[in-house]
Structure 1
C-alpha cells in the first residue's frame, strides 16, 4: 500500500482499496472484514471515539444518542439481511422474467427474501404494529443499503406505491464502476436498467442512480474521483452515456446530468437505447437482440446525432414547441410564438415593457391554460393584479356598461359607489378568476431573488410537473440580487443572463427577461447597444426585442410629444432573432391609463 498525504489515505494498487485511519482501525482493531468491493462498514461515531482514545488525542468526542443506537441497529439488520438474501436468490425467477440472468444477479450480490418486512418501521413502531410480509428482490447499493422490490405478479392497487422501497443511506447502484474509465459508463435511473445493459454487453459498464433525486450525489461522486486523480497525477477520462427513462422526467434528468458533467469537463452523451420503450429493461424484454444491437451501436457511436435529430423533429411535429403570445402580429414574426429559448425585451423607463410582458402572460394563461411564472422585483402582486383587472375592464367595456377603471381607481375602491362600474369590475374579476391560478406571481419587492434562486424555484416545479412546462418572466434584469455579493454590476448581469439561458435550456421553457436601457439611449432608436451591459445580453439572448415610440428615429422627433399621444404608438423592433427573422418591426397602440396593448396589423 502507498500512503498519500494529500488526502491522508492509503491506496492498494493491487485491489484498488482506499482506506483512511478510521477504516484501518476498524479492520485491525475491530476485526471488521471488508466486503468484495473493499468497503468497510462500521459506525463512524463509535470508531472515531475509539481512535481518539487510542491516540490520546485532545479532541471533542461524539455523544452517542439513542437515535444513533437505533440507526446502528437498523444498519446492522440490513447488513445481515443482504448476506442472507444473497444465499436464496435461486428461490425466485423474477430476474429471468425481467431478462436478467441469475449469474449476473449473483455478481452484484442480489438476493431474495420471501417474507420481507420494513426494518425501519419494525424497529421504530410501537408494539402491536403489524406489517404484512411481502416477497422482495434485494438489490444492494451499499453494505447496509438496498432496494427491496416486490416480486408479486398481482399487486393490489393500494400497495403499488410500495413496489420499490429503499433501505439504508442513499447510494448509487454499482458506484465502483465510476473508478474504471477504460470502458464507457451508462447511467440509468433504475437498477434493473443498468443490469439490462450489463446483460447484453461486456464492452461497457453501467450504473443506476436509483432515483432522479440522486443526480447531485452522482455528480459529487464523479467530481471527487476526478479531483483525487488530479491530486495523484493520474489520468481519469471517463465517457458517460446518459440513458435515463424515455419520459419527461427522464429527459429533464438527462439534461441536468449533461450540464453538470459539462461544467466539470467530463465527456458525456445523452443516448437513447430504449428507443420506443419506456426504459432499457423494457427494451430488453421486448426484443433482446434489437436491444443488444442498439447498445453495441451506441458504444461505437454514442453521439448518434442524426437519429437523435430525427427523433426530436418527430416530437416537435407531434407537439409544437411554440406558445403563441396572443398578439398575432408578434407571433407572425416569431414563427408562431415563444420557443424554449431566452428572450430579452428592453425599453426606456415607463414605456410599457412590464405591461406588455404581463399581457402576454395573461393571454397565455387565459387562452392556453399554461402556467406562467412571473418574478417581479419592482411591482407587488396586488399592483400587478389591479393592472390586469384594469385592462380587463377596458376590454369588456361597451356602450351599456360603466366606465373602465384604472389600476389606481380599482385599488382605492371608488367604483364600489357606482352600480354600472361595480358590475363592470366584477365582470373583470369573474373573467380573471377563470385563469389567474395559472399565473404564479412571485413578489420580489420585499426580498429580491437572484437568478440562482429563480433556477431553484423552476427546478422544483419542473421536477414535479415535467409534462407542464411553464413560461418564465423576469422583471427586471438589472435589479436582481447578485449571485455573488462581490460581483460588479457587469459581472452581476453576465452571471444572471447566463443563468436564465441555462433555465431555458435545462427545462426547455421560454424565458422572457425584461431589461432597462442605457440613459444615453433614451432619445435614440432602440438598438443592441441600448441594453445595459449589452455585450453579454446580446451574446446569451436568442431573441432581442427593443420597444420604442414609433417615430423616434425621425430627425424632428420629440420624446415628450410622443409620450403625450393617446394611445401611444409603440413599435417592437426585432433586433436579433437567432432562429428567425430579425430587422423587422411590429406596431401596437398602447393605452397606458388602462394597461392595454392592442396589436396593429400592418
Structure 2
C-alpha cells in the first residue's frame, strides 16, 4: 500500500528464517502504526550462541534474571531458546547436532532457517565473556515492548472510557505496570520465619555435635578450635608478604578438604591458580604429601623408600576430587562463570583462589583500587551464590616490614574493601622473635586471625617444613 512503512532489517541481524519472522503482536493496537518494536537481533543471536557454548552457566544466569523464551523478539530465536531449555532440562549437551534434532522433533527446524542458520549462530562468538551484556540487552528490550503494549492499550482504554469507576480503572492500570516492574528484580527477601527455622537447625546440629566442628576442617587443630572450620558462604582471606608460604598453606588446606583424615568426608575442591601452572601445583602437592624434598628431586636424588611414597601419593592424588584451573588473566566474571560450571557438574565444598591481585578488573580504565573492590565484592557474591567457603589469597603491603612489626588488617594491599567483604582474615607472618634477616617461614610461623565475624581473633602458631613446603600443627 502507498505510504506503508515496512520493517527494515537491522544491520547485523541473522540471516535465514529469523529476519523474516516477527513477534506476534496480539491486538492491532499492540504496535503503534508505522513503528517497529524495540529489539536487538544481534544480542538475541549472541545470547543463544553463548547458550550453545556453555548452556549450564548461561541458562542459569538467564533464570536468575527471569529471562524466558518470551523475551526473544524474533520467533526463530524464541524457538531456538526453547529448544536449548528443553535440552538443559534433560541434562543433555547442547551442540549443533542435538539442537537441530530437537528443533526437527518440534517441527521447527525449517521454520527457523534450517541447519545453516543454527550453524551460523554457533560460530557467531568464541567465548561467553559478553553473556551478561547480551542478557541485559534482551531483557531490557523485552521490558520496553511490554511497556509499549501496556501503554498503548491504556491509551485506547482511556479514549473508550465509559461510566466505570475511575479509581478502579486506575488501579487496574497500576497493577499492569507493577507486573512489569516486578520482573525487573529477582525475589531475594525472605520471611523471618524461614530464616529462624534455618538458624534453629544450625543450633540443633551444634548441640548434637557437642563442640565438634560445624564447618570444613582446615587441617590445623588450633585454627579449627578458633574458627570451628570454614563455613559455606564465607570469604576467607589469607594474606602475607611474598615468599611467606601462603600458597603452601592454602594447598595444605585444599589437600585436607579433598583427602581428609579417616572419619571425615572428602569434598570437591576447585583451585584457581593464576600464578603457578597446574603441573607446578601438582608437583608441590605430590612432594608435600609424599614428604619428599623437592630439592632432592631436582638434583635427581630419591631413594627407594621415597620413590614408593611418591608413587603412593600419586595414586591418592589421582583419585582426589580436586580441580585446578591455571588460566591466566581471568576477570571476576570469567572466574565466577568457570566456578559455576564446575559446581553445576560437581558440587563444590571449597574454592581456593591464588591470588586476588592477579584477577583482572572488567574495566581497565578505572583505578586499580576500584577494580580490586569490584573483584572482592564478586568473590563474596560467589561464595554466597554457590554456598561454599572461598579462600582468597592476597598480598600485604610493605608497611609491616618497614615498621618491623606484625601485620594488621590495614596492611591488606590496594583496597580496604577486602577487609570489609571478608568474613575471616588470616595473616601469615614471621614469628615475633624472628631475626631481621628472616624472609621465609623457616621452622615456624604465626597465623594471625585478624578478623572473624562469628568468633574470636588471636594468633595460631604453625610449624613449617620448608623442604617439603608443608605446614603442620605447632609442636614445641
The TM-score by the shorter chain falls in which range?
Answer: 0.5 to 0.7
Correspondence for 2:324 among 441, 462, 481: 441
Distance 2:387 2:141 in 1: 29
User: 1:392 — aligned with what?
Assistant: 289
Confirm or deny: 8 A CA contact 1:373 1:473 kept in the other structure. yes
User: 2:468 — aligned with what?
Assistant: 594
User: 1:377 — aligned with what?
Assistant: 274
Give the 5 Å matches for 1:386-425: 386-394=283-291, 405-410=292-297, 413-415=300-302, 418-425=303-310
Confirm or deny: 8 A CA contact 1:575 1:582 kept in the other structure. no
The RMSD of aligned alpha carbons is 4.5
Structure 2: unaligned runs, 5 residues or longer: 25-68, 84-100, 110-130, 152-173, 207-212
Confirm or deny: 8 A CA contact 2:230 2:389 kept in the other structure. no
Is it true that 1:452 corresponds to 2:333 in the alignment? yes
Distance 2:179 2:458 in 1: 47
Query: Aligned-pair distance for 1:240?
Result: 7.1
CA pair 314-538 structure 1, distance change in 2 beyond 3 A: same
User: 2:447 — aligned with what?
Assistant: 572
CA pair 239-535 structure 1, distance change in 2 beyond 3 A: farther
Is it true that 1:559 corresponds to 2:436 in the alignment? yes
Match of 1:560, SS state, is coil
CA pair 72-383 structure 1, distance change in 2 beyond 3 A: closer
Give the 5 Å matches for 1:141-152: none
User: 1:334 — aligned with what?
Assistant: 227
Confirm or deny: 8 A CA contact 2:245 2:441 kept in the other structure. no
Bigger Rg, structure 1 or 2:
1
Provide Cα deviations, 1:144-184, integer angstroms capped at 9, x if missing partner. 56779xxxxxxxxxxxx99xx87869xxxxxxxxxxxxxxx
Query: Aligned-pair distance for 1:326?
Result: 2.1
TM-score by length of 2: 0.61
Confirm or deny: 8 A CA contact 2:236 2:426 kept in the other structure. yes
Is it true that 1:478 corresponds to 2:357 in the alignment? yes
TM-score by length of 1: 0.50
Structure 1: unaligned runs, 5 residues or longer: 1-24, 31-43, 50-59, 80-139, 149-160, 170-213, 243-260, 271-302, 395-404
Provide Cα deviations, 1:502-533, integer angstroms capped at 9, x if missing partner. 11122222111111111121232120112112
User: 2:254 — aligned with what?
Assistant: 361
Query: Aligned-pair distance for 1:539?
Result: 1.2
Distance 1:563 1:475 in 2: 18
CA pair 168-509 structure 1, distance change in 2 beyond 3 A: farther
Give the 5 Å matches for 1:240-279: 266=185, 268-270=186-188
Distance 1:143 1:478 in 2: 43
Distance 1:410 1:386 in 2: 11
Provide Cα deviations, 1:270-309, integer angstroms capped at 9, x if missing partner. 4xxxxxxxxxxxxxxxxxxxxxxxxxxxxxxxx5522221
Distance 1:337 1:529 in 2: 23
Confirm or deny: 8 A CA contact 1:365 1:439 kept in the other structure. yes
Match of 1:504, SS state, is helix
Confirm or deny: 8 A CA contact 2:19 2:74 kept in the other structure. no
Provide Cα deviations, 1:425-467, integer angstroms capped at 9, x if missing partner. 22222232331xx2211124xx3212222111112223445xx
Confirm or deny: 8 A CA contact 1:343 1:510 kept in the other structure. yes
Confirm or deny: 8 A CA contact 2:286 2:310 kept in the other structure. yes
Distance 2:142 2:205 in 1: 42
Distance 1:322 1:573 in 2: 19
Structure number having the greater strand percentage: 1
Confirm or deny: 8 A CA contact 2:9 2:19 kept in the other structure. no
Larger relative contact order (Cα-Cα within 8 Å, sequence gap ≥ 6): 2
Provide Cα deviations, 1:312-368, integer angstroms capped at 9, x if missing partner. 336656799722222222122112333321111111221111100001001101123
Confirm or deny: 8 A CA contact 1:528 1:534 kept in the other structure. no
Confirm or deny: 8 A CA contact 2:429 2:447 kept in the other structure. yes
Q: How many residues align?
A: 351
